[in-house]
Amino acid sequence: GSMAGRRRIVEARSAVVALLRDAYRNRDRVGVVVFRGERAEVVLPPTNSVELAQRRLAEVPTGGRTPLAAGLLAAGGLALAHRRACPAAPVRVVLLTDGRANAGLGGDPWQDALRAAEVLRGTGADLLFIDVEKVHPGSAGRNRHLAEILGAGYVRIEELRAERLLEVVRGWKR
C-alpha cells in the first residue's frame, strides 16, 4: 500500500520485468510476492516467461495497509517450495520495500515483521534488501536492522528506477 505512488509502482513493475529479462538469459526464474491489505499473495510463481510476468503484474492492485510480516513469510514459503522443486538451483530473494509495516499477524506489525524475518532467513536463501523508503525522521536504521536480522545484503535506492534496480541486483555479491 505504501508503494502505491503511481510512479513508484510503475517503476517496481518495470524493474521486475527487467529482472526477468535478465534472468531469462541466465536460465533463472523470477517469482513475485506482493503484500497489501491484510495478506500476502504469490502473484507470479517462479517463471522465465516475460509475457506472464507482464500480465500478472498489470493486474496487481495497489493501496491499503502493508502486512510486511505476511510478505516475508510468503517469500519464505515460495523460496522453500522452489528449493524443493529445483534442489540444485540457487534461491535468491530480493525484497523491494519501504519497510512500512502497519498490518501485523495479530501482534505489533513491526515485531511480527522481525519474527517473520528470522523465518525467512532460516530458508537458506540468499537475501537482498532494497530499501526504497524516503528518509524521514524516525525511519533511519529501522530497515537496516531488518536487513541484519534477515542476514541480507542491504542497498538504499532513494529514487526507484528499473535500470538502477537491475544494476543493483546484477552487482549483488552472491
Q: In this predicted model, what pLDDT tens digit does every residue of 149-165 receive, in sequence order?
A: 999 888 777 655 666 66
- What is the predicted pLDDT for the residue at 1? 43
Dist. CA 114–CA 69, nearest whole Å = 7
Dist. CA 18–CA 151, nearest whole Å = 25
Residues (pLDDT < 70) of the chain are: 1-9, 11, 61-63, 134-140, 158-166, 169-174
Cβ–Cβ under 8 Å, residues 53 and 44: yes
Residue ranges of alpha helices (H) inside 31-103 are 50-58, 68-85
Compute φ and ψ for 138, nearest 5 degrees.
Answer: 95, -15
